[in-house]
Amino acid sequence: MTQTPLVEFENLKVRFKGERTVHAINGLNLSLQPGEMLGLLGESGSGKSVTLKTLLRLLPPKRSELEGSVRVNGTDIMTLSGNALASYRGGDVSMVFQEPALALDPVYTIGDQIAETVMRHKGIGKTAAMDVALDMLTRVRIPSPERRLKNYPHELSGGMRQRAMIALALSCRPKLLLADEPTTALDATVQIQILLLLRELQKEFGMGVIFVTHDIGVAVEVSDKIAIMYAGNLVETGTTRDVIRNPQHPYTKGLLAANLHGVVKGERLDAIPGSPPALEEPPHCCSFAPRCAFAEDRCRSDLPPVTDLGGGHSVSCVLAASTTTA
């Protein structure tokens, strides 16, 4: 298989300058094939959202320093600017935001917001663009889509707003959809509907999806592949099945253990002790070592090696390296 990957991160580093420097992403290597759905998992501050924003070049240019390369469909997106960047955004890659209530313009109707995107990318007239908007709203199965066209965001429920947001993001048939915790702001019952809808539309449109979440249950539900981030780097990646059945990194194991199944009332939950590191310095050793029950001296002195376990399953931990070499 020598197909061009849809997305390819190569040693991506992102630093934010300011009163203090933050090393948000530290040498990320990740690739995604067309039509794959990747769940990007990690706790707050692990660099999930920064990764997505890098993909859309949405990071504030003055305050952020980027290194490494990001290729989408073989194009180095770091070199895009002006009109090429504008047609890349929303045309090739689009994004569903965490809070549809905030990500939609409050004083424009849903129809107008979808139509203006379509007009911009497809160069068609308002009437035709409105037809596309109506078609998209129907596809995301919003009740009475004709009426929704003329609705303002505040007139819709949270679930409907997120459906409208998805319709907007998919209106130009992107090859890659980025979903930044798209269900976090929604009720539990609505969450699962939106997840299933995304999964269905992904199959229907054959697009790649990067789905950011901190909920491992959600990631397992929808993704083909899972990538787990910690302190601005990947700790483990592989097919959902491999990662869940055979987690190698202590952090992944900790995340899997930290759920509510089989918990006895009154007992303490299995949480990972400690908190994520401050990212003021670039890591010179394993970032997880201070919280890791299995940490050894070499974990605190060197960066962990990346071990390929086969089948796309790789892990960045000395423990995995020693079991495979031994």
Partner 1 sequence: MFAYFVRRLLYVLPVAIGVSIICFLLVHIAPGDPLTAIMPVDATAEEQAAMRSAYGLDKPLPVQYAIWIGKAATGDLGKSIATGRPVANEVFAAVKNSLLLAFAASIIAFPIGLFLGFVAGYFRDTIFDRIVTGFAITGVSVPNYWLGIVLVIIFSVNLSWLPSMGAGPGGSGEWAWDYAHIRHLILPAVTLAVVPIGIVARTVRALVGDIFSMDFVQALYAKGMRHSDVLKHVIRNAAPTALSVMGLQLGYLLGGSILIETVFNWPGSGFLLSNAIFQRDLPLLQGTILVLALFFVFMNLIVDVAQAAIDPRIKRS
Compute φ and ψ for 141, nearest 5 degrees.
Answer: 55, 50
Residue 306 C-beta: closest distance to partner 1, Å: 31
* Residue found by looking up tokens 């596309």 in the block: 132
Choose between 171 and 307: whose C-beta lies nearer to partner 1: 171
Helix axes 126-139, 158-170, angle to 10 degrees: 120
Q: Which of 24, 28, 32, 27 is nearest to 8 (CA)?
A: 32
Choose between 107 and 271: whose C-beta lies nearer to partner 1: 107
Residue 299 C-beta: closest distance to partner 1, Å: 38
Residue 122 C-beta: closest distance to partner 1, Å: 11
Choose between 95 and 142: whose C-beta lies nearer to partner 1: 95
Q: Which residues pair with 50 in a beta bridge?
A: none
Footprint of partner 1 (CB under 8 A) = 56, 58, 86-91, 94-95, 97, 99, 102-109, 116-117, 120-121, 152, 154, 168-169, 172
Q: What is the dihedral of CA 274, 276, 280, 283, to 10 degrees?
A: 100
Q: Which of 92, 65, 64 is nearest to 77 (CA)?
A: 92
Choose between 209 and 216: whose C-beta lies nearer to partner 1: 209
> How far, in Å, CA of 179 to CA of 38, rounded?
10
Residues 6+ apart with CB under 8 A from 250: 288, 292, 293, 294, 317, 319
| Exposed/middle/buried for residue 208 (C-beta within 10 Å: 0-12, 13-18, 19+) | buried
User: In sequence order, what E strands does 92-205 have?
Assistant: 93-96, 176-180
Choose between 75 and 87: whose C-beta lies nearer to partner 1: 87
Choose between 146 and 270: whose C-beta lies nearer to partner 1: 146
Compute φ and ψ for 154, nearest 5 degrees.
Answer: -70, -10
CB atoms within 10 A of CB 68: 16
Residue 102 C-beta: closest distance to partner 1, Å: 4
Residue 140 C-beta: closest distance to partner 1, Å: 16
Choose between 120 and 253: whose C-beta lies nearer to partner 1: 120
Residue 174 C-beta: closest distance to partner 1, Å: 10
